[in-house]
Copies of this chain bind each other. A is one copy, B any other.
Amino acid sequence: MVQQIAFGPRIRKSPFFKATQAAGASHFSIYNKMYFPVAYGDPAAEYDRLVNAVALWDVAVERQVRVKGPDALTLVRALTPRNLASVKTGQGRYVPICDHRGTLINDPVLLPISDDEYWLSIADNDLILWVRAVAFERGMKVEVSEPDVSPLAVQGPKAVEVIRDLFGDWATEMKHFAFTESELDGIPLILGRSGWSRQGGYELYLLESRRGTDLWNMVGEAGVPYGIGPGAPNYIERIESGLLSMGADTDHRTNPFEVGMDKLVDVDQETDFIGKQALRRIRDGGVRRLRCGFFVHGDPFQGPNQQWWKVIADGARIGFVSAAAYSPRIGRNIGLGLIDASQAEPGTKLIVETEHGRRSATVSELPFDIPKG
């Protein structure tokens, strides 16, 4: 039975909604209370475009929490374990956000817009409630709001050529996570070198909702020589690349050390950020679980896992696989999971309880090695 997404006014539509409809969006999810087109009816072509050419993604669901005012930097520094002493305007950073127990609650990219304005480009939850509560409780002089900003991602090895043709050579020299204000044919935007893949690419943060279709079409036309087509964050590629999906890969007690964010947590800095004591205890006590990759043996999977899979060692449950798929480039089933640290050494043999029965599995490093094709 085909089960439809219900369209209505309760869930917001992206500025690119009409364009994605015209492009043949076939499957939707909802993310940050917005419709999120996640497939266009041809999974093989969508994967191929991303890893060999260039893809256009409506990621307007990546909402911004804007913190603006004299205390903006003080608040942002209190929110993340990452040391922001050397933060500078125009250079984004990936910043884990933890609660007072050291549990991860979001993993945004921080965009320092100016000395008194910072954006957090967030994963799927209402981080704005957290930020606003902390700001108000501490009596900080900041305004916390959601601006009219909607990212459009251009991802894949040929993204750089599309962006060069649109913006000029300067855009090819941008560093990872650098961003700058720009425009295309009068459409105001921020151009950032970022995106949720490891294939390289950019995000165009549209600053004027009503120009969504215009921007989609301009980028689409510029990409024709490079084989551009519609797509979405790709389930297979993100597993190959070991990208973290907050909420999908994490549970109610995941801390940043468990998911390989050690370098993003500075418990020795002077700033008294939220979760500092808890994270220091965790660091000193040693981490109990670790994120790792898996090769899952047996027949190729025909689609994504439908739920978390139990991971078993010596008859006991030692964690879960959160995402699994068959990788065409590797030629094997691969997965991501969080398991007892004692079993997370690459090469360790384990059992995974899948929807397709019990399978043997082997721990892999992350990201997975991609054979040169």
List A residues at the B interface (Cβ < 8 Å).
1-11, 13, 24-30, 33, 38-39, 99-100, 105, 124-127, 129-130, 132-134, 136-138, 145-146, 235, 245, 247-248, 252, 274, 304-308, 322-323
Contact = CB atoms under 8 A, between A and B. Distances in A.
A84 to B, nearest CB: 20
A26 B10 contact: no
A127 B127 CA distance: 10
A300 B5 CA distance: 24
A5 B5 contact: yes
A100 B136 contact: yes
A4 B5 contact: yes
A355 to B, nearest CB: 10
Contacts of A145: 252
Contact of A3 (B26, B30, B247): B26
A24 B30 CA distance: 21
A254 to B, nearest CB: 15
Given A9-B305, A130-B130, 17 more contacts: A1-B24, A3-B5, A3-B26, A4-B27, A5-B29, A6-B27, A8-B306, A9-B248, A9-B304, A9-B308, A10-B29, A33-B247, A100-B136, A133-B133, A133-B134, A134-B137, A136-B274
Nearest to A133: B133
Nearest to A5: B5
12 contacts: A2-B2, A3-B26, A3-B28, A6-B29, A9-B304, A9-B323, A11-B29, A99-B136, A125-B126, A130-B130, A137-B137, A145-B252
A1 B28 CA distance: 13
Nearest to A144: B99
A323 to B, nearest CB: 7
A38 B100 CA distance: 37
Interface of A, secondary structure class, is: loop
A28 B4 contact: yes
A288 to B, nearest CB: 20
Contacts of A127: 126, 129
A34 to B, nearest CB: 10
A308 B13 CA distance: 11
A9 B355 CA distance: 12
B4 A3 contact: yes
Contacts of A26: 1, 3-4
A248 B10 contact: yes
A38 B99 CA distance: 34
A7 B4 CA distance: 11
A105 B131 CA distance: 14
B126 A9 contact: no
A-B complex: 10 closest residue pairs judged by Cβ atoms: A133-B133, A30-B30, A10-B248, A137-B137, A126-B126, A100-B136, A129-B130, A6-B27, A5-B5, A6-B29
Given A10-B247, A10-B248, A133 B129 contact: yes
